[in-house]
């Protein structure tokens, strides 16, 4: 029900924006984000893995400390290492006004879902805002309930990429820095920045694309040595060494993992082919394609380790932009309509497989402080 209300309000907001009713459009957009964020805050504490691992204890600790410095010192003990400063600061600020963890998770949801709504506005010329948000809810929102720090870092990636495409380096650095402040693994965002630079600065698009794919292959090959180096130097948590050391913790189905990645790649490849026939080259679309290509090459690693699958999200999240951009390449009304319908059915199936059949780390059946879907 919450998803349908959000889609409905997003559609109204987008329509009003076309008629230049900006104020009313923004008000309805904020309402849509608030409705979705209610799920984040109202859920029971058994919904989502990170809540039980560190979420509740971090906020409870923040609520009983008298200074940010004292909270920081105690957080080092909670995380058995250096905690992310952005997440710690958010906990501390909210704990000055409330001691209820549900309110904290609601506000954290407002941040994550709100930034994603801002992303739809940024990319509105490249793709439909409604379809972008639809992709976010059906492909990523369930996972965001498991991730507290990293979900924020992931959505910060998309504004960073946007400002990179507009050559606004200061804003891109700001969003990238904020992503790292919420999860140190966001240091991986250096790679898409380099990829985009390679794609956009080359006078021969075909050669640039080939080089990007070759570079992506090398990246996958050297990922494990990079994780060793990053873990040794404190950039990554030691849990990312689980895969390297042979520990297997993920229950991700290889078939589902490939299915959710393959069709978007085919869509984006078709869109890139359409661009080529029209004599144009879009570095952003190609970046989405290459990042999705990396994501599918990582499947043999992702299905063995839950920690590694979280690293793959930095590449897979580009599908949220790439799929709507590909649909936007279809010129005819009915072509776009059936493409959108097909993608919607596909994403609903993926959502059902990931959240209902597999449970997505037990976020389904969903239960909250006011209701239960058992």
Tens place of pLDDT for every residue, the chain, 374 residues? 677 788 788 888 888 877 777 788 888 889 999 999 998 888 888 887 888 888 899 999 999 999 999 999 999 888 877 889 999 999 999 999 999 999 999 999 999 999 999 999 999 999 999 999 999 999 898 888 888 899 999 999 999 999 999 999 999 999 999 999 999 889 889 888 988 888 887 666 666 667 777 777 777 777 667 666 666 666 665 555 554 554 445 555 555 667 778 888 888 888 887 877 777 888 898 889 888 888 887 777 666 666 667 788 899 899 999 999 999 888 888 888 888 898 899 888 888 887 777 766 666 666 666 554 44
> In this predicted structure, what is the pLDDT of residue 331?
82
Task: Confirm whether 210 is domain-assigned.
Answer: yes
What is the domain extent for residue 347? 2-357
> In this predicted structure, what is the pLDDT of residue 158?
96
Task: Confirm whether 368 is domain-assigned.
Answer: no
Task: Confirm whether 324 is domain-assigned.
Answer: yes
358 neighbors 260 (Cβ within 8 angstroms) = no
**How many structural domains is the chain composed of?**
1
- Per-residue three-class SS string for the chain: CHHHHHHHHHHHHHHHHHCCCHHHHHHHHHHHHHHHHHHHHHECCCCCHHHHHHHHHHHHHHHHCCCHHHHHHHHHHHHCCCCCHHHHHHHHHHHCCCCCHHHHHHHHHHHHHHHHHHHHHHCCCCCCHHHHHHHHHHHHHHHHHHCCHHHHHHHHHHHHHHHHHCCCHHHHHHHHHHHHHHCHHHHHHHHHHHHHHHHHCCCCHHHHHHHHHHHHHHHHHCHHHHHHHHHHCCCCCHHHHHHHCCCCCCCCCHHHHHHHHHHHHHHHHHHHHHHHHCCCCCHHHHHHHHHHHHHHHCHHHHCCCHHHHHHHHHHHCCHHHHHHHHHHCCCCHHHHHHHHHHHHHHHHHHHHHHHHHCCCCCCCCCEECCCECC
Task: Confirm whether 363 is domain-assigned.
Answer: no
> In this predicted structure, what is the pLDDT of residue 239?
52
Task: Confirm whether 53 is domain-assigned.
Answer: yes
> In this predicted structure, what is the pLDDT of residue 277?
77
Task: Confirm whether 12 is domain-assigned.
Answer: yes
Handedness of CA 303, 307, 309, 311 (dihedral sign): negative
> In this predicted structure, what is the pLDDT of residue 87?
94
Task: Confirm whether 370 is domain-assigned.
Answer: no
Task: Confirm whether 13 is domain-assigned.
Answer: yes
81 neighbors 13 (Cβ within 8 angstroms) = no
> In this predicted structure, what is the pLDDT of residue 22?
79
- pTM tops 0.95: no
> In this predicted structure, what is the pLDDT of residue 3?
79
48 vs 74: CA distance, rounded Å? 23
């Amino acid at each position: 029900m919450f998803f349908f209300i959000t889609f409905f309000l997003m559609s109204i907001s987008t329509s009003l924006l076309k008629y230049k009713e900006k104020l009313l459009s923004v008000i309805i957009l904020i309402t849509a984000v608030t409705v979705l964020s209610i799920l984040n805050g109202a859920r029971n504490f058994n919904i989502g893995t990170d809540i039980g691992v560190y979420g509740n204890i971090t906020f409870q600790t923040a609520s009983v400390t008298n200074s940010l410095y004292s909270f920081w010192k105690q957080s080092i003990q909670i995380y058995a290492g250096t905690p992310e400063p952005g997440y710690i600061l958010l906990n501390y600020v909210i704990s000055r006004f409330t001691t209820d963890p549900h309110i904290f998770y609601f506000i954290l949801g407002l941040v994550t879902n709100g930034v994603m709504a801002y992303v739809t506005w940024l990319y509105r010329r490249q793709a439909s805002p409604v379809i972008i948000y639809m992709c976010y809810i059906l492909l990523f929102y369930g996972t965001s309930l498991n991730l507290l720090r990293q979900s924020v870092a992931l959505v910060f990636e998309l504004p960073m990429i946007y400002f990179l495409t507009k050559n606004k380096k200061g804003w891109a650095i700001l969003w990238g820095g904020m992503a790292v402040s919420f999860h140190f693994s966001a240091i991986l965002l250096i790679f898409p920045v380099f990829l985009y630079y390679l794609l956009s600065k080359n006078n021969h698009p075909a050669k640039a694309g080939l080089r990007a794919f070759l570079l992506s292959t090398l990246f996958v090959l050297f990922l494990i040595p990079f994780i060793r180096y990053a873990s040794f130097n404190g950039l990554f948590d030691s849990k990312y060494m689980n895969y390297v050391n042979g520990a297997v913790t993920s229950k991700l189905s290889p078939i589902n993992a490939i299915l959710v990645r393959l069709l978007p790649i085919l869509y984006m490849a078709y869109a890139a082919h359409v661009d080529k026939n029209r004599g144009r080259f879009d570095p952003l679309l190609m970046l989405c394609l290459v990042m999705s290509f990396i994501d599918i090459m990582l499947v043999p690693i992702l299905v063995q380790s839950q920690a590694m699958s979280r690293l793959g999200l930095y590449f897979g999240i580009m599908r949220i932009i790439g799929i709507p951009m590909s649909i936007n390449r279809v010129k005819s009304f009915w072509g776009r309509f059936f493409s959108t319908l097909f993608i919607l059915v596909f994403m609903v199936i993926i959502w059902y497989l990931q959240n209902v059949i597999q449970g997505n780390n037990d976020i389904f059946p969903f239960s909250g402080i006011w209701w239960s879907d058992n």
